[in-house]
Structure formats: structure tokens, C-alpha cells
Structure 1
Amino acid sequence: MTDTQPAVEQSPVVEPMVAPFAGWVVHPDWAERVISRAYDNLSPLQRQTLVASNPYSYMNVTRSREDLFDNTDISQDDLVAEGAAALTRLLKAKAFTPTGRPALYLYRLTHKQGMQTGVVCTVPVGGFDDGRIRIHERVHDDRADLLTTHLQGVGATSSPVAMAVRSTAELHNQLFDITSAVPADLEFGSTVVRHQIWTVPDDYTESLAAAFDHQVLYVTDGHHRSAAAVRAMAAEPNDPVLARTLAVVFPDDQLHVQAFHRLAVDHIDRTSEECLAALDDVVEVTPVFSSQQARPQKRGKAGLYLGGSWHQVELPSTVGNGAVNGLDVERLRRSILCPVLCADELSQPGDVEYLPASLGLDELARRCDADNRVGFALHPMTVRELMAVADERGLMPPKSSFFSPKPRSGVFLRVLGRGATAHLPAS
């Protein structure tokens, strides 16, 4: 360049939204033992039983304190060390096979509600800060910190953050073409939910990744894993492996949202009759004869379980503008959980427990009776309501939506080259 030539302005390099990765895939002979059901789909007792009975379940790698029978006082460092030991056990057994090349994968779930096909890939962690990847839920710091330590200490991830992208004809056509051309590489599951995996052929990889250019992604499941990825990168900004995280991205029109029901502590420690009277002072409460009658059939309604009886609740009107304020979870939090029960789910972990709707209202009642809690059954939101909150940079309370079915852990392994994988090349 001469002195008379104008300088060419350099555009900032933007990482691709969706990129292939050189991961590992569970060996078909090990799939049944290693692949674990979604964490939130299991009760603590079910997780404890699974961890104790199957040392090769991937849940041994990712377990938390409540997943252990006798180690509730175990330190975070010891918990991560046990996770690393569990991963080492899987690697020594050759339960996972390295693919040896970067690739994208398709993950299809077929169930009674329909079918959803997502792209398994890595996405840029920086996208959470620059608005290309949007969240909609708050997180509890203790859970996010544990998952951050897990990333740093265990050295691999197998639970992709589930995301949605606005559907396009181009994306649908590519997904159809790939899955129609060849049989799936791996199949597992049951007649209730069938899981299928395809490796995207090389000649489709570039065009499929390009279908996500200039698109916004929305986290649907995995807000704590997302927060952990952000915190890990912030702690080690010069590690290129931590600059991306494992994800699976589904077209939004294929997803189905369920509610997360609430089980709240009454910090005033009233009798059931006194608590019911306090609730009746702020919302309309109607007794019903069964859980089926209490099940909310539309927005603005909630089921209430208290002292062995079911009721219907009319939630108060929306206060304030914004997509978040119109949601049932926020109306419940602002009008009942905080002011009436003094249960602060935003700053006091444990004040409110969460139950996916898939476990049923009988399980809600059982847990309320066992733990002396007040139960609230909620109506699910829609995917577009979730996206509207994220577009406004709003944040719902934790566990506001539950997507089911969801991809399982133990299918893919993204190696980070540290902890239990320090001897392996990062992917």
C-alpha cells in the first residue's frame, strides 16, 4: 500500500454461529448403559438409585450433592473429583469413540406430540454477551458455580445446551434432505420417545451451518450450563476451547413447552387453614374435588395444593409493561410467593422447588405432603412468549419453562483437554 492509497477498514471477525466439532460419540454397544435420561425428568431418589446402580451412566459424571445417598456434605471440589473419576472410568472402558474429524450432527426425537430435529454443534460463548444468543431465565449462582467448576475440573461436556431458532424453509429442507438420504447412525430410546442421530455429510456441512448466519438463537433448556460456559470463559479468556460450547439447535415450530410447577415454603409457618385464608385475601381461591379439576386450562389460572386439598386460583392481573410481567410464573412470584409466603425464589435457593409437569400432579401432591409445602400447578407458556421475553432482554424466574422430550447426556462428548481429558486433544 502506498502513502496515497486509502486504508481499508478491517471488519471485526465474527465467529460462526454454528460450527462443527471433532467430538466423541458413544459406542453403540455402550449406549444403553451410558446414555442417561434428562436430569430434570428424574426425582432425586431416582437419580440416587441410578447413580448407585450403574457406574457407567453418564449421570455419575454430572451428579450434584442431592444425587448421592450418603454424601450430602461432600465438598464441591470432591464432587468434581468424583465426576472426573467417573469420566475416566468411561474413557478406560472405551465407551466413547473419537470421530477424528470436525462434524455437525442431527438429533431427532420422535414422540406422541410430533417430531423435532436439531443440529448438534458448538456455538460462540461470546454470543451470550453480544445478543446473538438470548436467554430468558435467571439462574442460581450456586448451581452455575458448580457447573463452572465441573467444566474446569472434569474436562468434558456431554449435555448440549438446547436452543431454538426461528424456522425457515431453507433449514427445514436441509434437515429433511439429510435425514432422508441415509439411515440414522445411532438409535436408542423407547416407543415413547425415539432418539436418532445422523452425522451430517461433508457436502452439507457448510450450507447447513450457513443457514444459521445472521440468526438469533434462544436458549430453551440449559440456562445454568450457559452461565457456566460464560463464567469459565471469563475466568480463562485466552483458552480458545472455552470460547465455544456444545449446543443443539431446533427450529422453534417443532418444540413443545411444558410448565414447571412450584412447591413453596410458607415462611410464616401457618396452619393450612391460616395459609389458605391469607391466600384468599389476595387472590380468588375456589375449592375443587380433584387434581384434574385443579389443572389450569388457560393462562391466568393455577392449581393450588394445600393441606391435602386442591383448589383453583385466579392469578392477579398483570402489573407493568413488558413480556415478563404478563407471564403466569411472574404473576405468581410477585403476588403470592413473595408477599404471602415470603418465599423468595430469586435470592433464596430452596424456598421454591420445581417439578416438571411431565411428573404429574399426584407427584406434586406427594412431595407437598412429605415436605410441608404449598403446591402451585401452572399452565405452560408458548415458545413465542419465551422468545418475546428474550428479545426484550427480560428474565423470568428460574425454571419457568420445561421442554420435553429433550436430548440426553452421554451421546456426544466434547473434550476440553483438562481434568480427566488432559491427556487428550481438545475438540
Structure 2
Amino acid sequence: MAIIRPFKAIRPEKKYADKVVSLPYDVMNRAEAAHMADGNPYSFLHICRSEIDMPEQENPYDHSVYQRAKANIAQNLEDGVFVQEKKPVLYLYKQVMDGRAQVGIVGCVSVDEYMNNDIKKHEFTRVEKEKDRINHFDICNANTEPVFLTYRDNKKIRSLMEGWIANHEALYDLETPDGIQHVLWTVDDDSTIQALSELFGEVPALYIADGHHRSASACKVGLKRREENPDYTGEEEFNFFMAVVFPDSDLKIFDYNRVVKDLNGHTPEQFLTKIKEAGFEVEELGTDAYRPEGKHIFGMYLQKKWYKLTAGPAMVPDHVIDSLDVSILQDKLLAPILGIADPRTDKRIDFVGGIRGLEELERRTETDMLVAFAVHPVGIEDLLTVADHDMVMPPKSTWFEPKLGSGLFVHQL
């Protein structure tokens, strides 16, 4: 089953919503966050990246950073920029990007279901990134940004959502500078909330699409609060964390491409020969950018030329992880030919989200890198299958767009 629980959200007063909403904390660095928030005192970046309000310091994870975020939340509440719902509610959240819409439910999910793997994962997390959000959530006493979850589409849930949207006025309807439309409806009718909760009770599992660190951190804050409150009942807000839950059929995974600094001592001619010897069919395409049109096909940009690399049948294992294109590229080319054994730690490789386009791959090879690889996107069913098998995707496998808007809802613990 899957628990979806209403909550008394802290959210922007309607007239401030378009000024508050921001990109998530982890898609930009400090300088970029400061630039985005420049001249906008309402931007949620003053909360999720509160270091931009402080002098630059050696330790960006100093507790004073999180104390500033907490103070900024309190100030926004005092000034009426933020308000808090008087009763627990759910929300329906629609995002539109390039004409494609995804509609999900905003509510709280269970720490216990996360621990029991009823909320399924597909990535490893890093301790230092977990510590950052643990401190942020704990000191702010809130899940300040939601986790992005998905589930296998359910006709009854979709029908109920569509019916509510058709018959109710949106709370917010705004467009952010990146061209994404964000529309939010409040679901405050108790019978509808109960119906949605019961329908999700029939959903076998939820899956983390994006936000593994936020999920792990929220869970650990919940466990910390349990230790601090040994008489807890299980109904306290810290037993739950905030999420937006979308049906899988609404989602689009973009490619996650690779750029590498050097050819591991090979000349370009030797490198191409090695690729052919590994089992790839290599076709030179010229200067027109090439996006792989199917599985087990890759684009490569080297010395201002594009190549099409096709993995032969013998190169595709019958294994849920090893047969992914990101695995084939890693196992058959990056590791044995370019010497990149661990892409998580090797400084010679970098990753470029597909939203930035193939032009970014060309630019990187002409500035700080030497060769680029365009990868066909992982399918959503591939991700769910990996998670169902309790396996972990290779690093930097999936890039979801659009990103969730931050600041539209906050869950107080």
C-alpha cells in the first residue's frame, strides 16, 4: 500500500507566489543562486540556499546557514508573505513544459514506508549531501522542498484528479522564467481526501524519481525526532515527509550525457580503432549534431565531428542493469578504453543533463573536455524495473524535467 496524508502546508500568499517559487536547491551553485535571487527578497532561494544572504564562508554547511533559513521562514510568516493552512489538505500540482503536462498529488508520505522499501529507491546517496539536508530540515523544523515520487498509473486516481480540476479554481497559475507553467489546486474536501488516500492504499509501491538525498535526510530527521520523543504515537508530523507523486505515464526522462577530458593516452585514430575492436559499429556523420534514435546507440563528438556508435548484440547482456545504455557505455568503452573505472569519483569525466542540448556537448569539447557521448534516455519502465528488483541505477542515469517548483508548499514538522 502507499500512504498519502494531508498536511497543514505553509505556502505563499497568492499575490507573492510567482515571486517566491524557485528552482530546487541542488540544481545550481551558490553564485548562480545569488544571481537568480538578486533583487527578489521573496525568492525561496533565501530559504533553500540561505547562504546567499550571508558573507561567503569556508564552511557552506555551518549551522548559521540553517539558522538563517529558519529565520527567513519565520520572517515570511510574520510579514504575511507565507500563510499556513488552517486544516490538513492535499494539493493537485500541474506542470506544463513544451506543451507536455504532468499532474501529481502533493501530500506527505511515510517514514516507515521509506524504511520498509515500500517507497523504492534506485540510487545511492552521499553522506555529505544527506548531512546538509538533515541539518536544514531539522533546524528549520520543516521539509522545505518536496521529494519527486512516481507510481504506476491508476485510472481511478487519474479520474478523481481530473474531476477535481475540472470543477475547481486553481490556487496558483503562474509561469517561471524557464517557461514552465505551475498550477496548483487545493483539495480541502474531507471526502475527496479520504477517497484519494484509499485509492493510494491500493497502489503497491511508490518510487523515488528525483530526490534520493531529500528522502534519506527527511527519514533520518524523523528517526532523530523519534529518539527525542520516545513516547511518540506515529501520528506526529515528523513521521511523514512531503512529496509530489506523479503517475509514471506523465513523466519524461531526458538523456544524461558524458564528457571526458582526454583519450587516456590514445591518439584519435587509435581511440576509434579501440572502439571498433570493442564491438561497436562506428559511422562518421560529419558536423551535424546527432541524437541517438534508439536503445544501444550512442552519439560521439570528437574533433568537431559527430559519430554514431551502435553496440552489437553480443555487447548487450541479458541483465536489468548491465543492459542499460549508460552501463554499456561505461562497461564497454569508458572503463576499458578511457580508463574511467569509477565515474562517481573520477575527475576526468563530467555529466551534462540532456535539457542543455547537444550544443552544450560541443561547447564542452571545445573548452575543457575532449570527447562527448550522447546517450539515449533511460525509459521510465527501466527505472521502475530496477527499483522493483531492489537494484541501483548507474550514477547519473536519469534527468527529469521539469523540476519541481520550490517554495509553493512547506511541511512543518
Amino acid at match of 2:378: M
CA distance in 1, matches of 2:113, 2:370: 39
1:97–1:64 distance in 2 versus 1, CA, 3 Å:
closer
CA 1:353–1:71 in 2, change beyond 3 Å: closer, same or farther?
A: farther
Listed as ranges, the gaps of 5+ residues in structure 2 are: 230-235
Question: Partner of 1:243 in structure 2?
Answer: 239
One-letter amino acid of the counterpart of residue 199, structure 1: T
Q: Is the 8 A contact 2:24 2:145 kept in 1?
A: no
The corresponding residue for 1:339 is: 336
Partner of 2:103: 117
Root-mean-square deviation (CA), in Å?
3.1
Paired AA for residue 154 in structure 2? T
- Which amino acid in 1 is paired with 2:116? D
Match of 1:195 among 182, 193, 217: 182
Match of 1:388 among 381, 385, 388: 385
Q: Per the alignment, in what secondary structure is the counterpart of residue 396 of structure 2?
A: coil
Is contact 1:107–1:118 with CA below 8 Å preserved after alignment? yes
The answer to whether the aligner puts 1:360 opposite 2:357 as a matched pair is yes
Within a 5 Å distance, the mapping from 1:71-86 to structure 2 comes to: 71=56, 73-78=58-63, 79-86=65-72
Task: Report if the CA contact (8 A) 1:344-1:351 is conserved.
Answer: no
Q: Which of the residues 140, 156, 164 maps onto 1:178?
A: 164
Q: Give distance in 1, aligned partners of 2:57 and 2:281.
A: 40
Distance 1:74-1:335 versus aligned 2 partners, 3 A rule: same
1:328 aligned residue (304, 311, 325): 325
Secondary structure of the corresponding residue to residue 325 of structure 1: coil
- Tell whether 2:139 aligns with 1:153: yes
Give the residue type in structure 2 aligned to 1:249.
V
Q: 1:366, 1:69 → 2: CA distance?
A: 33
**Aligned partner of 2:163: which letter?**
D
- Residue number in structure 1 paired with 2:233: none
How many Å apart are 1:118 and its aligned residue?
0.6
Aligned length: 400
Q: TM-score, normalised by structure 2?
A: 0.85
- Name the counterpart of 1:229: 218
Assess, with a 3 A threshold, how the Cα gap between structure 1 residues 178 and 351 changes in structure 2: closer, same or farther. farther
Matching residue within 254, 261, 279 for 1:258: 254
Cα offset for 1:217?
A: 0.6
CA distance, structure 1, for counterparts of residue 386 and residue 331 of structure 2: 17
Displacement of 1:402 in angstroms is 1.8
Contact between 2:263 and 2:271, CA under 8 Å: does it hold in 1?
no
Deviation at 1:409, TM superposition (A): 0.4
Amino acid at match of 1:138: F
CA-to-partner distance for each residue in 1:175-207, whole Å, 9 max, x for gaps?
A: 111111111111111694321111112220100
Unpaired runs of 5+ residues, structure 1, are 1-13, 417-427
Q: How far apart are residue 125 of structure 1 and its match?
A: 1.8
Tell me how far 1:291 sits from its aligned partner.
5.0
Structure 2: distance between partners of 1:251 and 1:100? 28
Q: Which amino acid aligns with 1:244?
A: F
The offset of 1:38, in angstroms, is 4.5
Distance 2:75 2:305 in 1: 48
Q: What is the letter of the counterpart of residue 196 of structure 1?
A: V
**Residue 294 of structure 2 aligns with which residue?**
298
Distance 1:75 1:149 in 2: 12
Q: 1:71 to 1:321 in 2, by over 3 A?
A: farther
Shift of 1:253: 1.6
Matched, 1:214 2:202: yes
Alignment of 1:10-25 (within 5 A): 17-25=3-11
What secondary structure sits across from 2:215 in the alignment? Answer: helix
Q: 1:95 to 1:270 in 2, by over 3 A?
A: farther
**Paired residue for 2:397?**
400
- Report the TM-score when normalising by structure 1: 0.82
Taking a change above 3 Å as real, the CA distance of residues 144 and 263 of structure 1, as seen in their structure-2 partners, is farther
Query: Does the 8 A contact of 1:18 with 1:209 survive in 2?
Result: yes
Kindly provide the amino acid, as one letter, of the partner of residue 162 in structure 2: F
Deviation at 1:364, TM superposition (A): 2.6
Matched, 1:30 2:16: yes
| Contact map agreement 1:345 1:397 (CA 8 A) in 2 | no
Residues 82 and 314 of structure 1, relative CA distance in 2, 3 Å threshold: farther
Conserved in 2, the CA contact under 8 Å of 1:345 and 1:352?
no
CA separation of 1:228 and 1:364: change in aligned 2, threshold 3 A: farther
Q: Please list, as runs of the form range in 1=range in 2, the aligned pairs for 1:55-94 lying within 5 A after superposition.
A: 55-63=41-49, 71=56, 73-78=58-63, 79-94=65-80
Moved more, 188-197 or 295-304: 188-197
What is the percentage of aligned positions where both structures have the same residue? 27
CA distance in 1, matches of 2:27, 2:61: 23
Deviates more, 1:239-248 or 1:101-110: 239-248
Alpha-carbon shift at residue 311 of structure 1 (Å): 2.5
2:121 aligned partner: 135
8 Å Cα contact 2:343/2:349 also seen in 1: no
Partner secondary structure for residue 336 of structure 2: coil
Q: Is the 8 A contact 1:260 1:357 kept in 2?
A: yes
One-letter code of the match for 1:252? Answer: D
* Distance 1:331-1:207 versus aligned 2 partners, 3 A rule: same
Other-structure match for 1:286: 283
Report deviation, 1:54. Answer: 3.4
Measured against aligned partners, the alpha-carbon deviations of 1:309-366 in whole angstroms (never above 9, x if no partner) come to 4332234655654322211112222223333333355641755433221111112322
The DSSP-based 3-state class of the residue aligned with 2:163 is helix
**Distance of 1:262 and 1:64 partners within structure 2:** 31
Q: Which residue of 1 aligns with 2:192?
A: 204
